[in-house]
Amino acid sequence: MNKLIKIKDEEQKKAINAWAKRKFTGSIIAGTGFGKSRCGVIAAGKTLDTIDTAKAIVLVPTTQLQAQFKEEFIKWGYEHVLDRVEIICYASAYKLENNHYDVVVCDEVHLGLSPEYRKFFENNTWNKLLCMTATPPEEIEYKDILYKLAPVCYRIDLDKCVELGLVSPYEIMCKPIELTDVEKQEYDKANKAFVYSKYILGQFDAFDRARHIMGSGKNTASGQDKAAAVQFYRAIRGRKTVVDHADGKIAELQKLVINHIGEKMLVFGGSNEFTNKLADATETFSTVYHSGKTKKQKEQALKDFRSGDKPVLCSTKALNQGFDVADATMAVICGLTSKSLTMIQRVGRIVRYQEGKIGKIFILYVKDSQEEKWLKSSVKNLDNVTWLT
């Protein structure tokens, strides 16, 4: 364990030094488990230790991470500077104007680059800026903004973290699920509508065309094109609804829970509604944590999971960032997107280092559907992926 701490400390120092060499403006791109939070704490803490009147702000995406970052300052010996550190969610930070900070730290920065949230960067100033995320944003617009705002100064991916022993190794197993006859009819209907509307809008730029038509109050699109754009988005939602709610995923989850009694398991659904169904189907073992629950309910869910009273924690998106339970050994992903970042974050929940642990990730997907294409896209940069039959 001492060797692990030494290696992690050395890599974190490399990251901070690389940031300093870039005149204290840059981004650290590092897989979950690397210790980005500690880098953020050191960046802020050392700045505040140097200047008595300095102030810092830490931007995070969730209230859970607000509390977690405060704990990180205490953990790493910087409790004494907390009175000069504002830890705030992006949802509030964008409203700030005409403030100057000695250092700004942005955690999960990919979530702070929307047109609304990036107003913080447009309306405030700073001397030092450190941005952190597991992978660069996949949207070209957001990636360009980040690289202009804070160019990458240090990068290490998840598999390199595994190689160095910074996180536990992992195995990904992709399990195909068949739709029921009724589900297949619904999917085929939505898919035919998608293909037809895509043909009307233009095979190669249908997404851009539909976005332009739906996003502009004034455009010269024909009535046929407007109808096609509406149908296009409706068909996309229709396909995703079918695969996100496939009954076969519930049956497969039940088998996995029974076959892995004694392991702590995270389950990710594609919607809050389906996440609730997954929990109901395994209710003896499960509790629920998602945006539809109250703060008190979510706190109780985490308490029950950490204690082992409920060893299966079902969520939708709320656990994608910052959730840290080293003894969680298994994940079952029942809802997908094509984004590599989301997949890396979910895998990252399971690879927090624990001696001897090998994280197991089961991904349940609908065979021969758009979901299969999303899955292939989302795992393309990950090792140890097995396709089951």
pLDDT at 12: 96
Least confident of 55-59, 234-238, 320-324: 320-324
Query: Phi, psi at residue 180, to the nearest 5°?
Result: -70, 170
193: tokens are: 């509508």
- Tokens 């094109």 identify what position? 225
Residues 366, 177: contact at Cβ < 8 Å? yes
Phi, psi dihedral angles at 266 (to 5 degrees):
-105, 135
User: H/E element holding 9?
Assistant: helix 2-21
Closest-CA residue to 52 (of 75, 16, 83, 96): 83
Tell me the C-alpha distance between 58 and 51, whole Å. 17
User: So what's the pLDDT on residue 383?
Assistant: 85
Residue 373 contacts residue 337 (beta carbons within 8 Å)? no
Straight-line distance from the first to the last Cα atom of the chain, in angstroms, rounded to the nearest whole number: 38
| Span 39-94, pLDDT tens digits | 999 999 999 999 999 999 999 998 888 999 999 999 999 999 999 999 999 999 99
Q: How many CB atoms lie within 10 A of CB 192?
A: 11
CA neighbor of 347 nearest in space, from 200, 125, 115, 174: 174
pTM across the whole model: 0.84
Secondary structure percentages of the chain, helix, strand, coil, to 5 = 50, 20, 30
Length of the chain: 389
Q: What is the pLDDT of residues 333-353, one digit of tens each?
A: 999 988 888 888 888 888 888
Hey, what are 287's tokens?
A: 């509790």
Return the closest-CA partner of residue 105 out of 33, 26, 10.
26
H or E element in which residue 47 lies: helix 36-50
For 145-160, how does the pLDDT look when each residue is reduced to its tens digit (9 = 90+)? 999 999 999 999 988 9
178-209 pLDDT tens trace? 999 999 999 999 999 999 999 888 877 888 88
Q: Residue 351: helix, strand or coil by DSSP?
A: coil
pLDDT band at 326 (very low <50, low <70, confident <90, very high): low
- Cα separation, 130 vs 140, in Å, equals 20
Q: Which residue do the tokens 């029950």 mark?
A: 304
Letter string b/e over residues 309-338, b meaning 16 or more CB atoms within 10 A of that residue's CB: ebbbbbbbbbbbbbbebeebbbbbbbbbbb
334: nearest Cα among 261, 246, 263:
246
DSSP assignment of 361-385 equals EEEEEETTSHHHHHHHHHTTT-SSE
CA distances from 318 to 71, 124, 288 (A): 19, 29, 10
The answer to whether residue 228 scores a pLDDT higher than 80 is yes
Would you call 307 exposed, middle or buried from its count of C-beta atoms within 10 A (0-12, 13-18, 19+)?
exposed
Q: What is the rounded CA–CA span in Å between residue 152 and residue 143?
A: 11
Could you report the per-residue pLDDT of 287-308, keeping only the tens digit for each? 999 989 998 998 899 899 999 9
Q: Which long-range contacts (CB under 8 A, 24 or more apart) does 47-51 make?
A: 47/102, 47/103, 47/128, 48/78, 48/81, 48/84, 48/85, 48/102, 48/103, 49/81, 51/102
Burial of 112 (0-12, 13-18, 19+ CB in 10 A): buried
Q: What is the bridge-based pairing of β-strands 286-289 and 100-106?
A: unpaired
**DSSP helix/strand/coil, 389:** coil
Q: What is the mean pLDDT of residues 129-156?
A: 94
Give Cβ neighbours of residue 279 (< 8 Å, ≥ 6 apart).
267, 286, 287, 288, 312, 314
> Mind giving me the DSSP string for 194-236?
HHHHHHHH-TTTHHHHHHHHHH-SS----HHHHHHHHHHHHHH
